Structure 1
Amino acid sequence: MRAGRFGGRSDDAGEVRRDQRFREEYHVKIRTLIAGTILSSACAFAAPALAQSGDVSACLITKTDINPFFVKMKEGATEKAKELGVKLSTYAGKVDGDHETQVQAVESCIAAGAKGILITASDTKAITGVVKEARDRGILVIALDTPLEPIDAADATFATDNFKAGELIGEWAKATLGDKAADAKIALLDLSPAAPSVDVLRDQGFLKGFGVDIKDEKTIGDEDDPRIVGHDVTSGNEEGGRTAMENLLQKDPNVNVVYTINEPAAAGAYEALKSFGMEDGVLIVSVDGGCPGVKNVQEGVIGATSQQYPLLMASKGIEAIAQFAKDGTVPKPTDGLDFVNTGVNLVTDKPVDGVPSISVKEGLDRCWG
């Protein structure tokens, strides 16, 4: 036995145990630091941003950090994490569809000992392997906005009812055209060739709402309705929307209805139509409800859009991770659905009978970005 630092007596074996525990904790910290360094140098992510220190750690992985939808999602997660004392690391790829960097982000979150992961997957099928690895380690994985395939590959999904979002704009477009809907020429501007679930759900919902026989609702492009001019992909951005619109106009210059996966793609489609002097003769509908998109509804660029609420998705996701860390509770789906529904509203100043909607003014009060 020997004197302790404060004049008491200290057990040598206890000192050894404390030294060993210090070394183990030190090496864990070093391994975590190395994993984060490798990720930031080997892929397209910036170093993860830490929102708040705390006993519970979580990760948010979005498709990009440019699209206002994901910016608002990050804002919602960050604010809620700060409120609840959750340590949050956030990651984002360079572009929509950047699957490999999302895989590396999940791996980094596993190595860092995250209690929960929130993810908007670029490739909803391919991501399931690394998601399973995370869940096998006892990590709660929640898909935000975009369900994984199959949906139960994640512990829970917090999302807009994306099929309903598409259905609302389809019903509105059909009612707005009236008798002319029977002879419509429809261009569909989708997301990516990978066709993640959100892409399929919105596309198929729109067509069903417009009165098209959608055949297999899990497949884009298998319809045989002669009103469909074709599909093209946009990567969910303005440049992609413009190029896709130009491609479909070459196929049929009589397009008069345009569905777009989101509002940046809709803005690009409008610019393409404008360059051909067609901006006044084509009805554009979309999904998102960001402030720039709602303003485009106000200005007549977009006829109607379905508004979703990304801040709510992310903040509810952080709440779920904190609850899971406390008592192991896993979120339950909304009654009648296989996900937690965070709501959707059609925004237009030209309402039609039988299709519920809110005004542009109300849409601007609720918008994001």
Structure 2
Amino acid sequence: MKILKTTLQAAGAAALLMGSLTANAQWFPLEVEALEKDGSRSPATYTALEKAEKPWNICVSFPHMKDSFWLAADYGVTEEAKRLGVNVQVLDAGGYTQLSNQISQIENCVAGGAQAVVIGAISQDGLGNLVADLKSKGVYVVDAYNGITSEGVDAHVLTIPSDEGLRAGRYLAERHPAGTEKVKVGWLPGPAGAGWVELFNSGFLEGIKGSAVEIAETKYGDTGKEIQARLIEDMLQTHSDIDYIVGTAVTAEAAVPVLRARNLTSKVKVVSVYTTPGVYQGVKAGTIEAAGMAPVVLVGRIAVDQAVRLIEKKDVLRNIGPVGRVYQKSDVDNLDIDTVLAPRNFRPVFRVEAK
């Protein structure tokens, strides 16, 4: 294993076994994956800075703060800002259709004197001009969560939807390997055409390849709970021999009452590609068989640490893919949920001022 002797932070499987995190908790060192330009991956150990040299100013831009994923991201970046002693302003662009708003918010924030920007991108390809402008001004750019294609980005720490789909597929493939009795899956990856949905789909298909798992039908649809419930109802009506409902966290949450109403709870199992508070409770209760869980909170912590490292011209692990895994009722109590979700009573924090 490659050991990074300088202090580099990251998100990994070991992190998911840690105790409860607080603003001052030492959440590192962590085992992580370093992603190379050729697509290869190598394990590394990442250790964060103990403190920033100065109370630097950092802008953080997210697409929105409407769901548990981005709340967890906000929790991660703001808690790490407190720990490191830096100033952070968090920007909410208003949704995935608001690219121009994201760009103008970042420009305004940087005009206030930021030395670095952390961006949860609305568009992978739509921020190239902004990144180039920031670089010309000497402002560092950290690409967090979603991915930015611009070569001007200084560091990446990403959640990778294809990996999440792959983990869910492999979970089923390991339970139903080639040569065993065939099982049929109703697969609901999300809204058609969305980039992250296509990545979920490609990863899932790769994960079940060569196994006894068959997709009875793939249904695309918006991730509203009512819409997902209707898609599940339609699928169950068409395919009476389905063994699993697999899909987004909203799909999993919607499937539980649908299956209960049809007395299919013992026959049809539910697997979620990723985790929300409802999915987490479902796994604990056993109404959802399994769910993929990636350390979303830690990705936010990493991104802020990377920004500080760049400002202070210290070594940076420039391309990180967090390591997640699939949990079941039997082992979910081993998970430190504070690495995946914000605390239950957490409300969005938009500014942290160094003390």
- TM-score tier by shorter-chain length is 0.5 to 0.7
Match of 1:257 among 237, 244, 253: 244
Give 1:70's aligned residue.
Answer: 70
* Alpha-carbon distance in 2 for matches of 1:108, 1:297: 43
Aligned counterparts, 1:28-43, within 5 A: none
* Alpha-carbon distance in 2 for matches of 1:242, 1:95: 23
Asked if 1:344 is matched to 2:324, the reply is yes
The CA deviation at 1:313 is 1.0
Identity of aligned residues (%): 17
CA RMSD in angstroms, aligned pairs only = 3.2
Q: Report SS of the residue matched to 1:227.
A: strand
* Alpha-carbon distance in 1 for matches of 2:152, 2:288: 35
Describe the superposition over 1:327-358 as per-residue Cα deviations: whole angstroms up to 9, x where unpaired: 2x57334xxxxx313321221146xxxxxxxx
Give 2:305's aligned residue.
Answer: 319
The CA deviation at 1:309 is 1.0
**Do the aligned partners of residues 115 and 210 (structure 1) sit closer, same or farther apart at CA in structure 2, a change above 3 Å counting?**
same
Aligned 8 A contact 1:284 1:304 in 2: yes
Q: Report SS of the residue matched to 1:117.
A: strand
Aligned counterparts, 1:237-316, within 5 A: 238-246=225-233, 248-249=235-236, 252=239, 254-261=241-248, 263-316=249-302
Describe the superposition over 1:231-259 as per-residue Cα deviations: whole angstroms up to 9, x where unpaired: 31334x53453354346556656543333
Q: 1:189 is matched by which residue type in structure 2?
A: P
**Do the aligned partners of residues 122 and 266 (structure 1) sit closer, same or farther apart at CA in structure 2, a change above 3 Å counting?**
farther
Tell me: higher relative CO, structure 1 or 2? Use CA pairs within 8 A at least 6 residues apart. 2
Question: What residue ranges of structure 2 are gaps of 5+ in the alignment?
Answer: 1-53, 343-355
The CA deviation at 1:362 is 0.8
State which drifts further: 65-74 or 97-106.
97-106
Q: Report SS of the residue matched to 2:114.
A: coil
The CA deviation at 1:159 is 2.4
Asked if 1:170 is matched to 2:169, the reply is yes
The CA deviation at 1:158 is 0.8
Give 2:209's aligned residue.
Answer: 211
Normalized per residue, the structure richer in strand is 2
**Do the aligned partners of residues 85 and 164 (structure 1) sit closer, same or farther apart at CA in structure 2, a change above 3 Å counting?**
same
Asked if 1:368 is matched to 2:341, the reply is yes
Q: 1:348 is matched by which residue type in structure 2?
A: Q
Aligned 8 A contact 2:186 2:235 in 1: no
Give 1:50's aligned residue.
Answer: none
Q: Report SS of the residue matched to 2:312.
A: helix
* Alpha-carbon distance in 1 for matches of 2:98, 2:257: 26
* Alpha-carbon distance in 1 for matches of 2:201, 2:152: 23
Aligned 8 A contact 2:184 2:214 in 1: no
| Higher Cα Rg, which structure | 1
Normalized per residue, the structure richer in helix is 1
**Do the aligned partners of residues 244 and 141 (structure 1) sit closer, same or farther apart at CA in structure 2, a change above 3 Å counting?**
farther
Describe the superposition over 1:134-157 as per-residue Cα deviations: whole angstroms up to 9, x where unpaired: 333332222222222x37463322
Under a length normalisation based on structure 1, what TM-score does the superposition of the two structures give?
0.66
Aligned counterparts, 1:330-341, within 5 A: 331-333=316-318, 339-341=319-321
